Amino acid sequence: MGSIASLLHVGLSQFLWIAFGFLVVLTVLVFVHELGHYLIARYTGVRVVVFSIGFGPELFGWNDRSGTRWKFSVLPLGGYVRMFGDSDPSSVLPAAETAEMTEAERAVSLFHKKLGQRAAIVVGGPLANFLFAIVVMAVIFATNGQPYTPAEISQILSGSAAERAGLQVGDLITAIDGNPVDRFEDVRRFVELGAGAPMTIVVMRKGELVTLSATPSIEDTNGRHAAQLGVRGGGAIKYIRRSPATAIFYAVGETWNLSTGTLEAVWQIVTQKRSADELGGPLRIAQMSGEVVKVGVVPLLWFMAVLSINLGLINLFPVPVLDGGHLLFYAAEAIRGKPLGQKAQEYGFRIGLALVLTLMAFVTWNDLLHVWRS
């Protein structure tokens, strides 16, 4: 009985950490994203009716001086900003009474703003996610330091792709497929993005540059398939503190690298060069949130920054329901000189919703398999 009680205690404790971490991470990122929409909407003179963290019935909230209802809702899986004149939180179609608005109401209605202003409001959400990531990374680089490991090989695993390619202990990797390598973290990133394809590696060996060809193997690591070269870096991870100005510079660079890397990985999944098993959803995010929140503040902030970048990118995909879908409609409006018809937007919204729900079901299934395997 004692061992069962102990097991239940550990299970409950782990669940509480996961729930706490997930709520912290998701609440902050949703708030940042929706705040981007809100601030640009207010700047362009649009009245914001509701700013909600979560969906469904309201738990609690308050009204500000401008008439916006700030609230927390029952389902904490997202959030929305509803603007004056919206038919619903998706902001796809104007409310039926839009045509009967007074001049004063038209002045604060989203659908009576110029096309560029409406597009700016949509872009505000993803932009806020990228800016949040840059600020968080800059703070980490300026205080805790930027992680840096020399790209010198200290160990080559037996039977690995590195051994077959002729890499040697002491080699300093300087480039992979024409991409400069400054630290061992770059090696990991380029190898993973290569998805097992042959790559050209340039190393500095005894003062001379040597060019080699290697084909990383795809291996299963904790239920995740990833390309492995089979080398280990030389020395422990160092943390280089940057000045405020250079911290921002490196943070912008890191955000760019993570963004392009993520897009390339998604394209590899679409073209089946990479396994779709790597896609994760809410359950995996919750599990990872619970793990990093126990490790410390810096890992938690880093995780939030990376997740914020992913959230910004995903929302820019041209799928109705997402911000990118709104931009797609606005692009069509710019070309046609008038908005798409109500039927076209409604069908687009339904197709987009079906795609998003299908993807959510798929990544949740992946999450369940991941939990089962681990």
204 neighbors 172 (Cβ within 8 angstroms): yes
CA distance 28 to 26: 6
pLDDT recorded at residue 297 = 84
Q: Is 333 a catalytic residue?
A: no
Burial of 285 (0-12, 13-18, 19+ CB in 10 A): buried
Q: List the catalytic residue out of 34, 192, 254, 278.
A: 34
pLDDT in tens, 35-61: 999 999 999 999 999 999 988 898 999
Q: Taking phi first (over 0 means left), then psi (-120 to 50 degrees means alpha), and beta for anything else, what does residue 56 get? A: left
Neighbours of 8 (CB within 10 A): 10
Lowest mean pLDDT among 114-118, 136-140, 194-198: 194-198
Give the residue-averaged pLDDT of 94-113.
75
pLDDT in tens, 292-331: 767 778 888 888 898 899 889 888 988 888 888 889 888 9
Residue of higher predicted confidence among 213 and 285: 213
**What is the pTM assigned to this prediction?**
0.78
Give the residue-averaged pLDDT of 329-339.
86
Model confidence band, residue 186 (pLDDT cutoffs 50, 70, 90): confident
Give the residue-averaged pLDDT of 115-137.
94
pLDDT recorded at residue 132 = 96
Give the residue-averaged pLDDT of 197-204.
83
Please say if the pLDDT value at position 1 is more than 60. Answer: no
pLDDT recorded at residue 122 = 92
Give the residue-averaged pLDDT of 246-257.
90
pLDDT recorded at residue 98 = 62
Neighbours of 305 (CB within 10 A): 25
All structural domains of the chain, each given as residue ranges with its CATH number in brackets, are 14-144+301-373 (no CATH), 147-240 (2.30.42.10)
Chain-wide mean pLDDT for the chain? Answer: 79
pLDDT recorded at residue 2 = 46
Share of the chain above pLDDT 70, in %: 80
Model confidence band, residue 17 (pLDDT cutoffs 50, 70, 90): low
What distances in angstroms separate CA 349 from CA 54, 328, 329, one per listed residue? Answer: 20, 12, 11
